[in-house]
Amino acid sequence: MFKSREIRWFYSTELKAVEKWFMDNGHTFENAIPRTDYYLPLKNQDDIGIKLREGNVEIKQRISRSKTENITRMSEGNFENYIKWSFSSAEKDGLFQEIIEGEKYNWLGVRKERIGYKLKENQNGSIIRVKLDDYPEFGCQVEYTRIKIMNEIWYTLCLEWFGEKEIEFDLSVLDNMLGDFKLQAANSMGYAEFLKKFFR
């Protein structure tokens, strides 16, 4: 079981200033390794998500959601706290194959191309950036993701704190990314809430 705290926004148009900021810092979609996650359609639930990811079954439950907050000068939204469980499936599980390759049971495929980095404390207590595939005991993942759902392209920006200790850093990094674009509270939500619009 893992605990996390995150704030996420979804937009149907590219956040050009954000993508440029990541590109200037060495992160591009051209170098991203895409993956497809498959979500169980839960039409009336916005606080729990169940998905298949790279051979695992993951259950992510929202346990609390803050009131709308002014995060920085150019961002507002809602912080959400989650608990996540992850279970490994048997190799070549038949049901997995039916859902992923046979496209049975109406699970929703979400193709993701993710760029970003993680923040962690070094031995001196300073905050440093590390790669997404590094796994510090605690930190914050800063990611910008291009997703494809049923031939629609969306973009999501997220800050996700993980581990037993919450790392603290200056959130004005968001303003540096955004330029003159403001992140709105109406676009602030987790995947479970966002994906409801695609479930039939």
Backbone angles phi, psi at 195, to 5 degrees: -75, -15
Task: Check if the beta carbon of residue 113 is closer than 8 Å to that of residue 32.
Answer: yes
Q: What is the pLDDT of residue 199?
A: 86
Per-residue pLDDT band for 61 (boundaries 50, 70, 90) equals: very high
Q: What is the pLDDT of residues 162-185, one digit of tens each?
A: 999 999 999 999 999 999 999 999
pLDDT per residue as tens digits for the range 62-113: 999 999 999 999 999 999 999 999 999 876 788 888 998 888 889 999 999 9
Nearest residue to 87 via CA among 1, 200, 27, 170: 1
In whole angstroms, what is the distance from residue 136 CA to residue 130 CA? Answer: 9
On the question of pLDDT at 200 being above 80, the answer is no
End-to-end CA distance of the chain: 30
Q: Among residues of the chain, what percentage have pLDDT more than 70? A: 100
Domains of the chain: 2-198 (2.40.320)
Output the pLDDT for position 91.
Answer: 63
Mean per-residue pLDDT for 16-36?
97
pLDDT digits (tens, 9 = 90+) for 121-145: 999 999 999 999 999 999 999 999 9
Count Cα neighbours of 81 within 13 Å in the Cβ-side half-sphere: 9
